[in-house]
Amino acid sequence: MATKEEILQNFNPNEIGIDNGNLLGLPFDYESANIIVFGVPWEVTVSYGGGTASGPARVLEASRQLDIYDFDNPEGWKQGIFMVEIPAHIQQKNEALRQDATLIIEHLKQGDRIEDNPHLSQVLKNIDRECQNVNQWLFDNATAAINQGKKVAVIGGDHSVPLGYIQALAQHYPDFGILHIDAHADLRDAYEGFQYSHASIMFNALQLPQISKLVQVGIRDICQDEINIIQQSNGRISTYYDPMLKQKLYAGIPWLELCKQIVAELPQQVYISFDVDGLDPKLCPNTGTPVPGGLELEQTYCLFRELLHSGRQIIGFDVCEVGDGEWDGNVGARAVYKLCNLMG
């Protein structure tokens, strides 16, 4: 097997990206890579548009169209990035359970209670159990990579996907913050009855005492319960709502200044959770729950750069809710590669 030095010597980053099963056609394997990327094709609890389970495959496919030079880290690719094969067993389970979840969601839309229906109550328990199995799979695989000194990235699937990885980081870091880009606050307690709903990811993550701060950016679709959780969090959650950010921009406050204010709220070590519906929907039109408004991709990069300029460290990230579209995959691949290079 080739050493990392041999791999670097024999690879020409100016050539066309080859279809070798890895992001950008990079020449690394699990052993030689410093960043391990897990694609998790899971969207069982999606409540609006489907297709995000195809996100990891779309990102992988589109990534070969990207040029490897990165303005923030021109030799970032040399750290070694390897995307593990997308797990077929999770994809198959997702397709089967998606139908079951739709039954539950349709039942709720009729105004009926799941508790009054023994069959659907059992279906719901089964979905929660299978979601927990996916969490455990990701926890085990992320932990194994972290224990080998590697960094980890996750591509969803819907936004429920990264919980197992966040739990793995909590075993490794006694104190860290989450920088959360999203149109939604994701602070619902078991949304639509599903304990591991895509709308509950931050509610579930905050059960981990190691997460000292959650800073949310771009939020513009939110319910009163979530507002209450934010207001009653004693400063543990800071939310930068999209309409308020826009108002400040219209008043002439530079985006860079706003980025500095946002970053100042975070602790030394930061996990980035990037739901692409935090972006303007023109960038990822096939995302699961698009909302008008949102950020430009460069605005998020500027924010991430400010995080590093402040001396803080990116310890991991996810990019979720990439829809089943060629353009969505293209934008998602750029976000994944940029975050790999910034994390490195």
Name the phi and psi angles at 55, rounded to 5: -55, -50
Tell how far CA 10 is from the center of its chain.
33
Tell me the Cα Rg of the chain: 20
Helix (H) or strand (E) holding 271: strand 269-275
Number of Cβ within 10 Å of residue 85's Cβ equals: 10
Task: Return the bridge partners of 237, or none.
Answer: 214
For residues 53-64, one letter each, b for 16 or more C-beta atoms within 10 angstroms of the residue's C-beta and e for the rest, the string is bbbbbbbbebbb
Tell me which residue of 44, 59, 73, 202 sits closest to 132, measured CA to CA.
Answer: 44
CA atoms of 328 and 322, how far apart (whole Å): 6
CA atoms of 106 and 23, how far apart (whole Å): 38
Residue 277 assigned as binding residue:
yes
Residue 67 assigned as binding residue:
no
Q: Coil, strand or helix: which one is 242?
A: helix
CA atoms of 203 and 278, how far apart (whole Å): 18
Pinpoint the alpha helices (H) of the chain: 4-10, 55-63, 88-109, 118-147, 163-172, 201-205, 224-231, 242-250, 255-263, 297-309, 326-343
Residue 275 assigned as binding residue:
yes
Residue 184 assigned as binding residue:
yes
Residue 72 assigned as binding residue:
no
Residue 159 assigned as binding residue:
yes
Distances (CA, A) of 138 to 42, 84, 145, 268: 12, 12, 11, 25
CA atoms of 166 and 313, how far apart (whole Å): 16
Number of Cβ within 10 Å of residue 224's Cβ equals: 7
Query: Which residues define the annotated binding site for Mn(2+)?
Result: 159, 182, 184, 186, 275, 277
Query: Which residues define the annotated binding site?
Result: 159, 182, 184, 186, 275, 277
